[in-house]
Structures are given as structure tokens and as C-alpha cells.
Structure 1
Amino acid sequence: MKFKGILPGLLVSFLIAIISQLLAGVVPALGAATIAILLGIVAGNTFLKQPVLGRGTKYAESRLLEYSVMLLGATMTVQTIGRIGGFGVLFILIQMTITIAGALWLGKKLGFSPTMRMLMAGGNAVCGSSAIASIAPVIDADEDEKGTIITLVNLMGTVLMLTLPVLGTVVFGTNVILKGALIGGTLQSVGQVVAAASMINQPTVQFATIFKIMRIMMLIVVVLVFGRMHQRELANELTEEAEETGNGNGHWLPWYVAGFLILCALNSLFTLPVMLSTAAHTISSWFEIIALAAIGLRLNLANFLKAGKRLALFGLGVGSLQVVTALVLIAVLLRV
């Protein structure tokens, strides 16, 4: 049965989530989300490396995180999103463009293949592993290339996840919108965005998620552009394949982003009962922590260490570019 194959890894992720919640009561400054991913990294690279856990942790990492983001929509309104405004959208577009251009340029200078450069650019600019998985088929990236870049993106994202909350608080003080812009406009995966923002407060989580969702909405565009770039390089007709694999699921928007927007719209129009929005928030938080535990369990530090200094420079360079660009753009476009 499919569920029996998922159960072991899912249960382990859930157990780590419970432990994280308990430890968060002792170390509230870190929060359960951050503790979960750190415990997952330690356990996943030491005594919880059994292949039987793979399907369940993959399910928790992807599906539960998607459910978490969707349910978060029931706690938000269009009025909240409107606080970001047109300059917020412009910030995301410029930030993504510079990230992609910088990753492609730096990757070329360091001698990486075109496919690895595009995977790195898309993974950092859009949404980490999900973007990499969506881009890989349209540029004919092999499994080794995809796995290497996913490991690098997740590791660098984890480093930024732990440092951006501190940097954001030092630079922007109590302004939750600007801190949300820094985190949501920079970090690679949804889980890392939520975890980093959770180290500050819930309003920062909301704004960081909005900025992140704006990036996710651009996934289809990035995939199609990279698909066409690859077509030109190979001089092959791959347009239909690129369109069919647009975001890895054949839809213009990931289903959980659509669900987030629908719930947010309903909450804006009708004001959902407090009990319902509270339940959505609680379930969303638990799904998030379980998913973050799974992300930690699946992060293979050994693969990254084997990749050498060149790959480390690639990750450090792109990550630094994203942070510096975000700080400059926020100062120019968003700060009031």
C-alpha cells in the first residue's frame, strides 16, 4: 500500500515535530520551526539515514508544507496583501531578475554547465527544490546535477534562514513588512521562509509568506524562459514539452498557492469565524513544523562537502548577491 510506504518517514518527522514543540518551551527564542529543521539535519545525517524513511519524509516535505501554506490563507485578508502595494511587486520582479542574471553569470565564471547554472538560478530566484524539480525536465538536467544543486540550495537556505532574522531585526527594527520582504524575497523554500520569519513573530510570517508567494507565482515564467534558452542552445524544437511541464504539474499556479488565494479571498469577503481561522492556523503550524523536520532529515551534508570549494563559492556568491540586492532594493523601493 502507498500509505504504508509513507508512514515510517512521516511518523519520524511527526516525532521530531513533537520534540521540537517541547524544546521550544525551553528555548522560545529559537521556536519550534527552527528547532525542527536543526534536529532533522542532525538526525538525518547520523542515525536516521534508513532508506525506508525516504518516501515519508519526501511526502512531509512537499505535501504537508503545501497544505500549511494553503491553510495560512484562512488567516489573512486582501487588505493585508494590499499593504505591500505595487512597489512590493516591483521589488520581487527586480530581485528575481538580478538573482537569475547573477547566478547564470557566476556559474559560467566558475565553470559550471548551462543546466547547473539554470537550476541554481531558478532554485534561488523562485522556490528552491520545487523550482529545481520543475526546471530540470525542460532543460534535460540529469539526476546528479539536480541532486547536487538541491543540496546546495537547501544548505545555503538553512544558513540564511538562521541569519536573516537577526540581520532583518538589526537593519529594520520593528518594521514587520520590511523584515518580511527581506526574508520572503530572499530565502529559497517556503519552509525556510516560514521558519526564519517564525523566529521574529507571526505578522512577519504573514508578510514574508506574501512576498514568497509572489515569487512562486513567477515559476511558470521562469520555467518557460529557461526552456527556451535551452532550446536555443540545443537548436531543438522543445516548445511543447516546456509548456506541458510548465510548473511540474501542468498548471499555471501550484494548487496550494491557488488554495491560499481562495481562502484569503473568502476571509476578506465574509470574515471567517474566529474558531475556523484559529483551527486553520494551528493545523498550518503543525504541518509546517513536521515538514521542516522532514526537510532537515533529507538534507545530505556529505554530498555538499564532497562537491568541493567551487560549489561552495557558487552557493555563497549567489546567496550574498540575493541578500545585498534585497537590502538595497528595500531601502530604495519599500522603506518609508
Structure 2
Amino acid sequence: MDISKGEVKNNKKFQYIKEVKEILPGLVVSVLIGLASMLIAKAVPKIGAATISIFLGMLVGNLFLNQKVFHKGYKFSETDLLSYSIVLLGATLSISTLMELGFNGILFIVIQMAITIIGALYIGKKLGFGENFRYLMAAGNAVCGSSAIAATAPVIEADDKDKGIAITIVNVTGIFLMFLLPLISDWLYNLELVKTSAIIGGTLQSVGQVVASGAMVSEHVKDLATIFKIVRVILLVVVVFTFGHLKNKSNTEIVEEEIQDTKKGKIKVPWYVLGFFITCALFSTSIISPEVSHICKLLSNKLEIIALAAIGLRVNIKDLVKQGKAVSLYGLFVGTLQVITAVILIGILL
């Protein structure tokens, strides 16, 4: 039976409308929490809208707005809006700002990631976890949380159960570190810009957590910490390919699978990283004017606050409590290793 082009077009339109309807409730709640946080921040400016947003989101979400109808909108607000925010952030930073990381900054990221991967694999083995789960934990903690786990899972042929547990425990670890790292940075570095940005951007699991934690300190720390994080995200492809080799596949199988996965978009560099560098280049070459850059900065901040509200709304305190002892210890040990390694490397390199 032939399907006309008109029917196909109508079906796509129907799916689009359906998806918008599913996203809308959670998006509206996230926007309202974000706006409320901005208003509250005017009364208590020392706390800042970003910090208020995530805590207010956690409070509201766990009390009465954690129903399934909101979840898709929360996820959209956290992932998509934050991605747009990062692209707009690029329009406020010049290439010279990116160069602030320098050779030592990039070396710090590479060594930190390598030690996190080796440590996560070793700790997981000692705790008795399977090989696939260890790879997922290593990727999630070393690179970019859920995105890295999702990209790694098909390459190592991990099952959905391992994938789901790894995503949960990596996010839980990141949530605790998100609040802890600003305190550690204050104690060790008196919130000095580069060192504070390095420990936040070089340690935290997801981009959203980096933005949230950096925003708790200052606007400059948030921006520079995001740059540290983007370097880690760029290295996602290297990590995934390496894990493919470690699974003892033949070179032919690896090459074929990597090509197929790249075509499917499973392990390519996230679009917002490319967008960030494009807008950064446009600003550096004065194609984006200072006036437009200022508008981009304002929009980026607003989207960021809404995204942080969604992150708070998605934190389920009951789920944090439910995690088993073994996986909780796994997350604790890996997170502790990351912080200790970062402090040592910052002392040596930065």
C-alpha cells in the first residue's frame, strides 16, 4: 500500500505537535521556577539566581511536581536549553580567552581523565562489578556523564540495566560534588579563578553540573569552568574508540563499527561544542559585535537559569537514598579519587 507524500507530511506534523505537547508542561514549570529565582535573587543578590534556581527546583520537584507528565519537559529544559546557552556563551568569549587554559590546563584535563578512567576500572574490579559496567562508569565520570555513557554503551555492547544504573550513580555522584566543590575551592584556593574553574570543570560529571557549580561561585568561574569541561567533551570520541579496542575486537570490526556509529551520530562531538567554537570564532573576528555579544550573554544567562531549575526538578531525593551500598561506594570512591587527583594536579600544573 502506497503512502502519499501528503500523508507522510501530516504524520510528521502530528508527531511534532505531540512532542511539543509532551514537552510543554515541564518546560513551563522550569521557566516559572527560573523566573521566580531571578526575582528572589534581586532581594538576595549574594546567593544568585543560579543557586536559588537549582535549590528551588529540588524543593518543588520533590514536594509536588515530580509527576511523569513533567519529565519530558524537564529533560528538554536541562539538555536543549543548556546547549543553546553554551552556544550563546561562545559569542561572549574570544579565542584569547580560550587560550587562558594554556598547555598546562589541557595537560591537566588529559591526565585527570586518564587517572579517572584507570581508577574507575580498578575500583570497579575490586568491588566485583562486571567489565561493561566498569567501562560505563569510567566514561561517565571521566567525560560528560549520561552522554558519555550513552555513547559508550553500544560500542561495548552493554545492556540497558548496566546503562541505567551507571547513569543514575554517575549523576548522583555529580550532584553531591556540585555542591561540595565550591566549598573545597573556597577552603583551598580562596575561590581563585583558574584553580576553582579547573577543579569544577575538570571533575564534575555533566555540563549542567559544571554550569551550576561554577555559577554558585561567580560568573567568571562558570565561564572558564565550562571551557575546561568542553575540552573533556571533545575527548569523548577518543575515550569511546579506546574502550572499543579494550573490548578485544579485531581492527576490522572496530573500524567498521566506529564508522557506523559515527554515521548514526552515537559518538560524534556534541553539536553544542561545535556551535560554541563557531560563535567564539565569530566574536573573535568581530563578526559578532560587542552589542550583539551583550545580548547573547543576557540570553545565555536566562536559559542557563531555566536549565538549572530543570536540573533541580529532576533530582529525586528518594532515588538517591535507594541506591545500593556497593554502587554507592563505587560512586563515592571514584568521586573522591577525582577530587584528590584534581587537587594534586592543580598544585603541580596550575
TM-score range, shorter chain: over 0.9
194-203 vs 23-32, which moves further: 23-32
SS of residue matched to 2:63: coil
* Superposed counterparts of 1:235-250, under 5 Å: 237=253, 239-246=255-262, 249-250=265-266
48-57 vs 119-128, which moves further: 48-57
* Superposed counterparts of 1:77-92, under 5 Å: 77-92=94-109
Q: Deviations over 1:265-302 (max 9, x none)?
A: 11112173232111111111121122222222223333
236-245 vs 183-192, which moves further: 236-245
Does 1:217 pair with 2:234?
yes
Given the two structures, how large is their TM-score scaled by the length of structure 1?
A: 0.92
> 1:115: which partner in 2?
132
Alpha-carbon shift at residue 258 of structure 1 (Å): 0.7
Alpha-carbon shift at residue 50 of structure 1 (Å): 1.6
Q: Distance in 2 between matches of 1:231 and 1:59?
A: 37
Does the aligned pair in 2 maintain the 1:224–1:246 contact within 8 Å?
no
Q: Distance in 2 between matches of 1:148 and 1:41?
A: 21
> 1:259: which partner in 2?
275
The verdict on how the C-alpha distance between 1:219 and 1:65 changes in structure 2, with shifts beyond 3 A counting, is: same
Amino acid paired to 1:220: V
Does 1:37 pair with 2:49?
no
Given the two structures, how large is their TM-score scaled by the length of structure 2?
A: 0.89
> 1:68: which partner in 2?
85
Q: Deviations over 1:26-69 (max 9, x none)?
A: 44343222222223233333322221212211211211111111
The verdict on how the C-alpha distance between 1:245 and 1:297 changes in structure 2, with shifts beyond 3 A counting, is: farther
The verdict on how the C-alpha distance between 1:91 and 1:328 changes in structure 2, with shifts beyond 3 A counting, is: same
Does the aligned pair in 2 maintain the 1:220–1:247 contact within 8 Å?
no
Gapped runs of 5+ residues in structure 2?
A: 1-16
- Return the index of the structure with the highest Cα Rg: 2
> 1:49: which partner in 2?
66
Q: Deviations over 1:173-192 (max 9, x none)?
A: 25311111111101111111
* Percent of paired sites with the same residue: 50
Does the aligned pair in 2 maintain the 1:220–1:246 contact within 8 Å?
no
> 1:28: which partner in 2?
45
The verdict on how the C-alpha distance between 1:158 and 1:26 changes in structure 2, with shifts beyond 3 A counting, is: farther
Alpha-carbon shift at residue 321 of structure 1 (Å): 0.6
Alpha-carbon shift at residue 239 of structure 1 (Å): 4.4
The verdict on how the C-alpha distance between 1:167 and 1:144 changes in structure 2, with shifts beyond 3 A counting, is: same
Does the aligned pair in 1 maintain the 2:91–2:296 contact within 8 Å?
yes
Q: Deviations over 1:129-161 (max 9, x none)?
A: 111121122222233322222222222211111
1:278 aligned residue (294, 301, 304): 294
Alpha-carbon shift at residue 229 of structure 1 (Å): 2.3
Does the aligned pair in 1 maintain the 2:139–2:149 contact within 8 Å?
yes
The verdict on how the C-alpha distance between 1:30 and 1:115 changes in structure 2, with shifts beyond 3 A counting, is: farther
Q: Distance in 1 between matches of 2:219 and 2:263?
A: 29
2:342 aligned residue (310, 313, 326): 326
SS of residue matched to 1:45: helix
The verdict on how the C-alpha distance between 1:235 and 1:49 changes in structure 2, with shifts beyond 3 A counting, is: farther
Amino acid paired to 2:134: R
The verdict on how the C-alpha distance between 1:35 and 1:156 changes in structure 2, with shifts beyond 3 A counting, is: farther
Does the aligned pair in 1 maintain the 2:210–2:226 contact within 8 Å?
yes
> 1:289: which partner in 2?
305
Does 1:268 pair with 2:305?
no
> 2:192: which partner in 1?
175
> 2:325: which partner in 1?
309
SS of residue matched to 2:204: coil
Does 1:137 pair with 2:154?
yes
The verdict on how the C-alpha distance between 1:251 and 1:229 changes in structure 2, with shifts beyond 3 A counting, is: closer
Does the aligned pair in 2 maintain the 1:198–1:204 contact within 8 Å?
yes
**Root-mean-square deviation (Å):** 2.2
Does the aligned pair in 2 maintain the 1:224–1:243 contact within 8 Å?
no
Gapped runs of 5+ residues in structure 1?
A: none
Does the aligned pair in 2 maintain the 1:29–1:199 contact within 8 Å?
no
The verdict on how the C-alpha distance between 1:166 and 1:236 changes in structure 2, with shifts beyond 3 A counting, is: same
SS of residue matched to 1:199: helix
> 2:28: which partner in 1?
11
Q: Distance in 2 between matches of 1:235 and 1:142?
A: 23
Q: Distance in 2 between matches of 1:144 and 1:26?
A: 45
Q: Distance in 1 between matches of 2:132 and 2:259?
A: 18
204-213 vs 15-24, which moves further: 15-24
> 1:185: which partner in 2?
202
